[in-house]
Structures are given as C-alpha cells and as structure tokens.
Amino acid sequence: MNVRGRSLLVAMAAAALVLSGCSDSDDTPDVPTIAPQTPIAAPAADPAKPPAGVVVPVANAGTALAYCTMTKQLAMLSDDGRSVLFYDTAGLAPGAAPVRTVALSDKATGVGTFSSGKLEVLIPGALLIIDSTTGDTVRVDLPGTPLSAVLTSGGDILVGNDKGSLMVVDPAGTVRDTITGFVRVDAIAEHEGQVVVLDRAQSSVTEVDVEDSDLGVSLRSGDGATNLTVDHYGRFLTTDTLGGEFLAFYGDPIVNKFRHPVAFGPYAVDYDDTHNLAWVATTGNNQVTAYELATGTPVQVQQFQTVSQANSMVVNPETGTVYLLSADGGGLQIINPDQQ
C-alpha cells in the first residue's frame, strides 16, 4: 500500500506559531501570504545529456503520477486532466499501452493516494475514487476545489482544498469533519496518526490533530514551499522551490531538523523506504538527486539526468525504482538506481 499521505541542524528563521482550528467556519486566517509557487521552467533539452534509465513515450499523459504497491500499477493524469491512464509496471517499456483508461467528469486538479487498486482523483467540487481493475468510480461531493488528498493509516481520506479547509472523509464516503485555519491545503502527509499539512500560500507546514479538529504547531518551510512527503521514520520532507532548499521536520510537536540548499528549483520529492534514500527532482536543470539522511545532514549519493520538466515523481518503496513524468510531452522515465 502506497500511503505517503505518508546534516546541519539549524533553527527555523521564523518562530513556531500555535494556531487553533474549528469545523464551523469557512474563514481563512488573516496572515501574510505569497503567490503559491510553481515548478521552475525546464531548459531546452540537451542532446548531450540524455535522460537516464528507460523513457517510455506516453501519449496524452503528463500532469500527475501515483503508484500502487498492491497492483504494481502506475496511474497518470492525461495532459488535459480529463482522463486517468493505468499502466502495469511489469515489463513497462517503450510501446506499452495502458491497461485501462478512465474518462473523468471534469478536469482533474490532482491525485491522492493509489492503494489497494483504488486511486483518489480530485476534481472541482468532488473526490473521485476509481477502481483500476473495473474502472468503477465513487464520487464524494465536497466544497471548493480539492487540491490534495491522502489515505490515512486509520482508513479515512483527508482532502484539502483551495479555501483552506481540511475535510475528513470516512470509509463510507461521508464527510465526518471539516477543519479550517489554512489559506490553502496543497499537500498532506500522515505517519502513524500524525498529520502534517503544507500550505503554499504561507510556505508553511502545520500539524493537525484530526481527532480534536485542532491545528498545532506551524513552521515556515522556506520562502516558497511546494511539495511534501513522509518517510517510514516519520520525517516530513518538503521542497522549497523559491528558496532552493530541501527541508525535514520531525517530532511531536514537529521541529525543523535540517535546511539543505538545493539549486535549480527543487520540486517533486519522495522517499525510497528500501534503500533509505530521499529523492528530489530539480526542474531547472532536469535532474533528480538521491540523498542519504542517516547523519542528519543530507548527503548526495546519486544523481541522474531526467526527462524535461519532470514535475511528477514517485518511488516504488519496495524496489527503489524511480518514476518521473514529463509535463511537456517527454514521456515516463524509469530509473533503477541499482542498475545505473
């Protein structure tokens, strides 16, 4: 089950903020904000620096990527956001066709967890749960435009939207609670019940006590945070695209464990649980880098050239295979670090 919904120690530049959340208000906080960051545009392709590994041409795909460990499938959003393509990873090679394509009722804004063959897809006003085997879709109507979702270890789905709300959807598809207090909820990660939310408009990470509907400690995550994941140790890892940093937060309450400079616009981030490596993709130079974190300071151990504009990345937690999806038609890249 792929649930990512799951060094130099430095102090955060900004102090921790303790916020309170409630379920009966749609008001967003009156706080300083920035324009939510987007990936840095990739440079023109350099023939002298071809992508590592194998590149599979994928027609009409390029905006989001998810992996299911049970079915060994990849799910990709089409370039227009109006369909999902499911691919078997076994023998995935140039010329491979999707095993299933599912049309969507509206343009997707992203995907959440892909687990046990069920993919969470976000569209304006709803969460869709798509069965990759049958194509059957369950719709859960939600307010606003959902931006992020994660399946928790307890079986609930947490969905964040553009209005700063975090909604708790139970396994029956009922919205059990709504927690407010953010400007946006752009990414969510959960580890053994600990939930952290990333808000791009505040460039912050915030702990959430889902059971009590409260917000906990909130910390700045650089100058323009974009993405969030969590490893099996419970370290919440973020990328600061604007400020050029890779950051980690840990503990309860969370504290900043490191801020590591990364040039060329760090964006996509994921973790390899098998080799204990954090992977960070930088679109400004079309590269992806693996960091070992055991010493508390990120140590670069591998680096590869990627497809152009690799905005989406997922790592198979069982094998360490890295999948990167080009947002400008460059295809799906497959890197097996052990074979490079």
Q: Sign of the C-alpha dihedral, residues 75, 3, 312, 202?
A: positive
Rounded (5°) CA angle 249-33-206: 25
Q: Alpha-carbon distance 36 to 167, whole Å? A: 21
pLDDT at 31: 87
**CATH architecture of structural domain 51-339:** 7 Propeller (2.130)
Query: Could you read off the pLDDT tens digit of each residue along the chain, which spans 340 residues?
Result: 444 443 222 223 333 333 333 333 456 788 889 999 999 999 988 889 999 999 999 988 789 999 999 999 999 999 999 999 999 999 899 999 999 999 999 999 999 999 999 999 999 999 999 999 999 999 999 999 999 999 999 999 999 999 999 999 999 999 999 999 999 999 999 999 999 999 999 999 999 999 999 999 999 999 999 999 999 999 999 999 999 999 999 999 999 999 999 999 999 999 999 999 999 999 999 999 999 999 999 999 999 999 999 999 999 999 999 999 999 999 999 999 988 7
Q: Which two tokens stand for residue 101?
A: 């394509």
Q: Which two tokens stand for residue 150?
A: 């994660």
Q: Which two tokens stand for residue 54?
A: 């194998």
Domain ranges of the chain: 51-339
- Asked if 219 contacts 228 with a C-beta cutoff of 8 angstroms, the reply is no
- 213 Cβ contact list (under 8 Å, min separation 6): 21, 22, 23, 177, 179
Question: If DSSP codes are grouped into helix, strand and coil, which group holds residue 337?
Answer: helix
Return the DSSP state at 143: S
Q: How far apart are the first and last CA of the chain?
A: 27
